[in-house]
Amino acid sequence: RISASKKIKNRFENLRIMPILFAGLTDGINPCAFGVIIFFITYATMILKKTRYELLGIGINFVTGVFAAYFLMGIGIVKFVEIMKNIHSVAKIFYFVMGGVLLSLSAVSFIDWYSLRKHASGRPAKMILKLPSYFFERIFSVIEKYLKFRYFVIFSFLTGFVVSLLEFVCTGQIYFPTIMYIAGYPELFNKAVFYLIIYCFAFVVPLIAVFIFVFFGLKSEKLE
């Protein structure tokens, strides 16, 4: 156990930026995030008739809100795991439960993969790991609520922040295990925070790309 822990620690200390960028980008490119982006832009342009420059302001604040939410969640999870780790009786149960949860998610991911392979051959795919419809409904209601306010550009930051909290149910499967590992080595905390910033930036890159495309004329039908 000590040998394995030491190897993991050495690997983390020698970690480069590119794997972190790739992990964040992988997390950012997912059906949940893209579904929200498409609805957000479509609602702002077609329903509320926002101009391109209004959309630019909305987009910048929305992406900033998403980044802030994920970064603060990451810091909060690190602190929470550190507290749990210091309570030895609770720590063993906590890590055992989380290990079981992550193994279960891995197994279900392979089931979903197999279902998608059958879908490619013409059979219907039934996904298990997906954002519940209730959360999608809450996300859409948040977008509709805050973009109708007079100062909608400012409230788009709050929209991005709240949406990220709801969306974390779908996008946290990569993020949460990474954070748990970071919390295991408090002496590497400063370096971990730097990697956390890199990860969160990579996560919002797809959002930035979509808003750039829309700003320069991509229609919502093409985006969808």
State phi, psi for 64 to the nearest 5 degrees.
Answer: -60, -40
Residue 224: pLDDT band by 50, 70, 90 thresholds?
low
* Per-residue pLDDT tens digits for 84-113: 777 777 767 877 887 888 788 788 888 888
- What three-state secondary structure class fits 55? helix
pLDDT at 30 over 90: no
Looking at per-residue pLDDT, the higher value among 14 and 25 belongs to 25
Collect all residues with Cβ–Cβ distance below 8 Å to 139 and sequence separation of at least 6. Answer: 36, 39, 163, 166, 167
pLDDT at 182 over 70: no
pTM comes to: 0.74
Looking at per-residue pLDDT, the higher value among 186 and 119 belongs to 119
